[in-house]
Amino acid sequence: MTMNTHPSLPEFEYVQPATLAEACEFLASHAVEARPFLGGTDVFVRMRDGFLTPQFLVDVKNLKGLNDLHFDPKAGLTLGAAVNMNRVIASPEVKAYYPLLAEACRSVASYPLRTRATIVGNICNASPAGDTIGACLTLDGVLHIHGINGPRQESMASFFLGPGKTTLKLGDVVTAIHFPIPPKGCVGMYLKLGRNQLSDLSIVGVTALGYPDSNCKSGYRFRLALASVAPVPLVPTQAETYLANHSITPESVHEAARLSTDACSPIDDVRGSARYRKQMARNLSAKALAEVWKKLN
């Protein structure tokens, strides 16, 4: 017998279903003991650390259609669940129409890790710190899910219930995420504060997206999403509404940043204190909004 000289993954069975239906059925009939996985970049680390002990890991990344990246100038972008982040960054269509998505992916870990990491995996992991989730929320991503009763769609906006908790039901596999064509003239940005400039998890992350909108009193609609400041990826709707109804000035931007901070309920952890997070959420929100506003004009 080979002796493992280094701590490795705990024991489990690797399952590779041939079809989506087979995957859903297996997951549904092994409720507690099975878990689907794509790149494994979160699952393996948490298994190694003893936080997860699945009896079966169900590899869904080779299922039909899960590796497709499809863009249609009218319908928008569909990313198969197994499309890795480096492919998203390298896609000319993403670069042209969804640069915010590429920017968010680029902030994740390192190139070799992004060969395996996926946006859908980042979403399903449901960490409040997920770097790509803010872009998916502000770009109105819709998840395509296959469950035991067949396919359905779910909006990103109502997907997160708590840390690691989502509306996914037993037997569900997320097969893709779809983005509509972004609003005309939109500008987005992701500001990430980590312990180092590249590669770390966020202490606070702020995604901002702005675009001209004649339905708003201010003439502009701003979308915001905050990472690592609440049990779920946070959309500070009061701040968004405020900017829709008040002319965009340095003062209104600061008021919106204050409102988004009010919505935060961060925790102390190894990366930063709750107090620091609140202050930085305010600073980064103001900075992101001001930068987006500058680019809009």
* Residue ranges that bind another protein, judged by CB under 8 A: 2, 4-14, 39-41, 44-45, 48, 57, 59, 86, 109-113, 115-116, 198-199
- The smaller minimum CB distance to another protein, of residues 47 and 226, is found at 47
- The smaller minimum CB distance to another protein, of residues 12 and 276, is found at 12
* Orientation angle between helical segments 237-245 and 250-262, nearest 10 degrees: 160
Considering all CA atoms of the chain, what is the largest pairwise distance in Å, rounded to the nearest integer? 72
- The smaller minimum CB distance to another protein, of residues 29 and 53, is found at 53
Number of Cβ atoms within 10 Å of the Cβ of 2: 4
Query: Contact at 8 Å (CB) between 214 and 206?
Result: no
The nearest distance, CB 112 to another protein, in angstroms, is 4
User: How many Cα neighbours within 13 Å face the side chain of 197?
Assistant: 0
The nearest distance, CB 85 to another protein, in angstroms, is 12
Question: What are the residues whose beta carbons fall under 8 Å from the beta carbon of 5, sequence distance 6 or more?
Answer: none
User: How many Cα neighbours within 13 Å face the side chain of 131?
Assistant: 27
Give me the DSSP letters along 30-59.
TTTTEEEESS-TTHHHHHHTTS---SEEEE
- The smaller minimum CB distance to another protein, of residues 111 and 151, is found at 111
- The smaller minimum CB distance to another protein, of residues 118 and 261, is found at 118
The nearest distance, CB 7 to another protein, in angstroms, is 7
The nearest distance, CB 155 to another protein, in angstroms, is 31
- The smaller minimum CB distance to another protein, of residues 56 and 276, is found at 56
The nearest distance, CB 45 to another protein, in angstroms, is 5
Rounded-to-integer distance, Cα 226 and Cα 208, Å: 9
The nearest distance, CB 39 to another protein, in angstroms, is 8
β-strand 160-162 against 69-72: which pairing, if any? unpaired
